[in-house]
Amino acid sequence: MERLTDRRILITGAGSGIARATTLRLLAEGARVVAADISAAALNETAELAGNDRLTVSTVDISSEDSVNSLVSEAAAELGGLDALINAAAILRGAHTHECSLELWNRVIGTNLTGTFLMTRAALPYLLESGRGVVVNFSSTAAFFAHPFMAAYSASKGGIFSFTHSIASEYGKRGLRAVNVVPGGISSGITDNIGHLVPEDTDWDLFLKLTPALPGGIPGPEKVAGVVAMLVSDDGSFITGTEIRVDGGAHQ
């Protein structure tokens, strides 16, 4: 199935996890893709896995205005415009909230929330020109349900949730769609390393309620990649200003 043959797509965080799996899915469905990440080495691994001449990779620091503006203008020039932006890049740094430093808080907010804003702001003129532009932002179940030791991460993802609704309303009459994808209990670059990202004395019993209800344990990132591919295709053309939660029923 090649639903995306004529689509021009920019995705961040593509060096690992869900964004890498999404990049591969977009290419499999025929899209032309610029995949960005802060790690050049990780992007090279993605490119090797893809083995596709419709993929261009580029490094970016989404917390840097200059880096973002350069990436978006170069991507639009490479692709001849933009039809979709997928903001998947994010970081997680956990801490007991009473021990959370301002530096940690600002780093998480600056990357996840401000980075999503900077990428979207820079891409909007191209997406509006497309006439069928789509912004897919990655919120998280952490924005809606208690995730202990993740105050900064949860706040950043809650901000993304609200930001997405705002732009969906503001630009809907101009043909732009904006949707939140909300993963939970999915194998990703963050979840695979969660033990190193939260305090050493973490009470893991507090995470039991985050377990997917469906059998089979924690699934791979391709479960989310398929949802994103649908959203940026014509199959998602009537979906905007809402969320799609992909968590195996962990939060029913």
pLDDT digit string, tens, across residues 95-143:
999 999 999 999 999 999 999 999 999 999 999 999 999 999 999 988 8
Reported in sequence order, the residue ranges of the chain that DSSP labels E, i.e. its strands, are: 8-12, 32-37, 55-59, 84-87, 134-138, 177-183, 242-246
pLDDT score at 219: 75
Pair type for strands 177-183 and 242-246: parallel
> For 53-98, how does the pLDDT look when each residue is reduced to its tens digit (9 = 90+)?
999 999 999 999 999 999 999 999 999 999 999 999 999 998 999 9
Helix/strand/coil percentages in the chain, nearest 5: 50, 15, 35
Give the chain's domains with CATH numbers.
8-246 (3.40.50.720)
The 8-class DSSP code of residue 114 comes to I
pLDDT bucket at 149, cuts 50 / 70 / 90: confident
Q: How far apart are CA 16 and CA 46, in angstroms?
A: 8
Mean pLDDT value of segment 227-247? 97
How many CB atoms neighbour CB 80 within 10 A?
Answer: 9
Alpha-carbon torsion 137, 59, 37, 44, what sign? Answer: positive
Q: Are 22 and 224 in contact (CB under 8 A)?
A: yes
pLDDT tier at 184 (50, 70, 90 boundaries)? confident
pLDDT for res 200: 74
Q: The whole model's pTM is what?
A: 0.92
- Provide the pairing of β-strand 84-87 with 32-37: unpaired
C-beta of residue 113 within 8 angstroms of C-beta of residue 163: yes
Strand ranges of the sheet holding 134-138, from the earlier edge strand across to the other edge = 55-59, 32-37, 8-12, 84-87, 134-138, 177-183, 242-246
9: which 2 tokens? 């797509």
pLDDT tops 60 at residue 196: no
Residues 13/24, Cβ–Cβ less than 8 Å: no
User: What residues act catalytically?
Assistant: 153
The count of C-alpha atoms lying within 13 angstroms of the C-alpha of 141, restricted to the half-sphere facing its C-beta, is 22
End-to-end CA distance of the chain: 32
Would you call 193 helix, strand, or coil by DSSP? helix
